[in-house]
Amino acid sequence: MKNLKSNLALLLVAIVYLIAMYGLKPYQKFYYADGGDAMGYYTYLPSAFIYHDLDSQHRTWTVKYSHSSPWQHAEVKYFNKYFAGVAVLQAPFFFLAHLLAKPFGQPADGFSMIYMVLGSFSCIFWAWMGLCLISIFLRRYFSDGVTALVIVSIGLATNLYFLVVGQAPMSHAYLFFWYALLVYVSIKFYETERSSYVILIGFICGMITLTRFNELYCVLIPLLWGLADVASIRERVALLKKNWLWLIGAAVTGAVCLLPQIIYWKISVGHYLYYSYTDEKFDFLHPHIWEGLTSIGNGWLPYSPIMIFSLIGFLPTFRQRHAGRIPLLVYFVVHVYVIYSWWCFFYMGSYGSRPMTEAYPLLSIPLAYSIQWLLRSWRRAAVFILFLGLCTFQVMMQTYQMAEDIFNSEFNNWYFNVVSFGKTKLTYEESIVLDTKEFQPSHPVYLKTLLSDSLEDSRPGADSTVAYSGHQSVCIAKDSTVLLFKTTAREAGLKGGQWIKASVMTLAKDYTNNNWHKSPLVMMFSEKGHRKSKWRILALQNKIDNPEHKIWHFTVNKWGYVYFYSQVPQDMEPDDELLVYVEHKNGPDICVDDVKVEVYENK
């Protein structure tokens, strides 16, 4: 059968996506979320077609909160900063949900579970359609087997998998489809030079911009496709001059695509053009390119390592003079520069660098060249298949861990990546490495106690209304720091390589669901009177009454025992200091009691 391998690869990806969606249930997170990007993209649909309140979206959000957050009240006027492009691709599934809601016994209000399920399914559908398009244009240049491996690599071994089944429906899976279609249509246009493809290119570029406003540079792909030398540039200019109406048609089509956004701005804020992200901006003078590509804190390659082969494949792409080599290089450079100039270059709330997924249709070409070379040797092929399996396992396992709230790539570090890898459950000592960024001792042996303090003395923050033992604790208000212990290496008799254990009983007075509002217990080794030489922290609030060690867990008005170890630096001098303190920058008050600082060695 023709194209059997690539078709089986597409079928495999579809089955895995559906099984993962059933198991991970991203629609429940979408359903219960108080807001966020995905809800912002979606609310255009119920606002426009059910509640007719695009000017304020007040009724829309009132109903939304009645489902997910009945204690929360919608603002009188809610302005949607997100662009409307995602809603366009979600619309068929929204209308289907609206048709089926009442027959399935659910409110036809835009927010009952059937809308959320089909909204999440739309993400799978369009991402899979993007993979189908990639397989179609790759088979023009590569074998069916190479194409199949590219489909599996991108579909199951990159962060696209997470964005489809773990965090649906964000914008990136939909953009992945549009870019795959753009590459395919660009190829078809230069093969046929039919004007209809030019209009379609204008439409696709318009939809990409309507989805993510900064990606107008997607026009570079069709403009540069097939360029190779000065002669080809002259031919391209002559072609466009001869058919200048094509460009006008494409531009008009793209502009028409932006009309829904322009109309919304006019209705909502009274302006035809408006920068909706207000204080969120690009800093093109200080891009974070290296961190964005390689950082363990939500960088690209640590969570999609299979795409290293796409970077290696740039060389054979140019050596083989592939028609897409120039747009590939130019688009990649521009895209990386722009997305990592964004203020939040680590793109919070995701798995790896999510804006890189829309580049995958273009990157599939150099990836295919790398795989083609690897398959020429059975040894290289075996190593690649093993690596692909490992990458797939990593992506699927960490997606599961993210769903179970025991892993978060945004806060991740290499130490935690090691201790958590492949595990469905974590011990306390493993879980706290996410905060401490230091392995905990495997067999600590007690040596001595440096401090055991029930905090009964008079000090700032002393609170007699709440105590774990004795008559009081110390409650720390916002923007406060409470020093619990200070000594020198000489006074404490510390030696390099020993371990310090700091522990407290702690209680959170009120709830916070913000990881940036958690208060850390801090242990700092510093050169006397100078800079800190080693600094380790442990967030307190999410360690209380948390037997499953979930990251976003919070318990209030209950005492919990919290501790961590940190190793004494080998080069610590006698006059260097050890400090233990609690730092509270934001959120509700946090109370501590029964502080201990002890010395251990690891056997």
Whether 13 is in a domain gets the answer: no
| pLDDT above 80 for 532 | no
Same domain, 86 and 45: yes
| pLDDT above 60 for 34 | no
Domain that holds residue 102: 27-396
Same domain, 529 and 586: yes
pTM of the model: 0.94
Whether 12 is in a domain gets the answer: no
| pLDDT above 90 for 523 | yes
Same domain, 76 and 36: yes
* Other CB atoms within 10 A of residue 515 CB: 15
pLDDT of amino acid 518: 78
pLDDT of amino acid 494: 95
Instruction: Produce one character per residue of 178-196: b if its CB has 16 or more CB atoms within 10 Å, e if not.
Output: bbbbbbbbbbbbeeeeeee
Same domain, 374 and 457: no
In tens, the pLDDT along 288-329 reads 999 999 999 999 999 999 999 999 999 999 999 999 999 999
Tell me the pLDDT band of 517, cut-offs 50, 70 and 90. low
Same domain, 150 and 76: yes
* Other CB atoms within 10 A of residue 306 CB: 26
Is 352 in contact with 298 (CB distance < 8 Å)?
yes
Average pLDDT, the chain: 93
Same domain, 392 and 432: no
| Main-chain phi, psi angles of 593, to 5 degrees | -155, 165
pLDDT of amino acid 61: 83
pLDDT of amino acid 519: 86
Same domain, 382 and 242: yes
| pLDDT above 80 for 73 | no
Whether 417 is in a domain gets the answer: no
| Main-chain phi, psi angles of 594, to 5 degrees | 50, 65
Helix axes 378-404, 4-24, angle to 10 degrees: 20
Same domain, 392 and 433: no
Task: Reduce the DSSP state of residue 347 to 3 states and report it.
Answer: coil
Q: Identify the residue whose tokens are 């198991």.
A: 23
CATH number at residue 545: 2.60.120.260
Same domain, 446 and 558: yes
CA geometry: angle 352, 355, 361, nearest 5 deg: 105
* Other CB atoms within 10 A of residue 344 CB: 10
Same domain, 479 and 574: yes
Lowest mean pLDDT of 246-260, 348-362, 406-420, 453-467, name the range.
453-467
| pLDDT above 80 for 575 | yes
Task: Reduce the DSSP state of residue 542 to 3 states and report it.
Answer: helix
Residue of higher predicted confidence among 434 and 169? 434
Same domain, 446 and 386: no
DSSP 71: T
Whether 173 is in a domain gets the answer: yes
In tens, the pLDDT along 320-379 reads 999 999 999 999 999 999 999 999 999 988 999 999 999 999 999 999 999 999 999 999
Same domain, 180 and 270: yes
| pLDDT above 80 for 67 | no
**Total number of domains constituting the chain:** 2
Q: Residues near 176 by Cβ (< 8 Å), separated by ≥ 6?
A: 126, 127, 130, 160, 357, 358, 360, 361
| pLDDT above 60 for 485 | yes
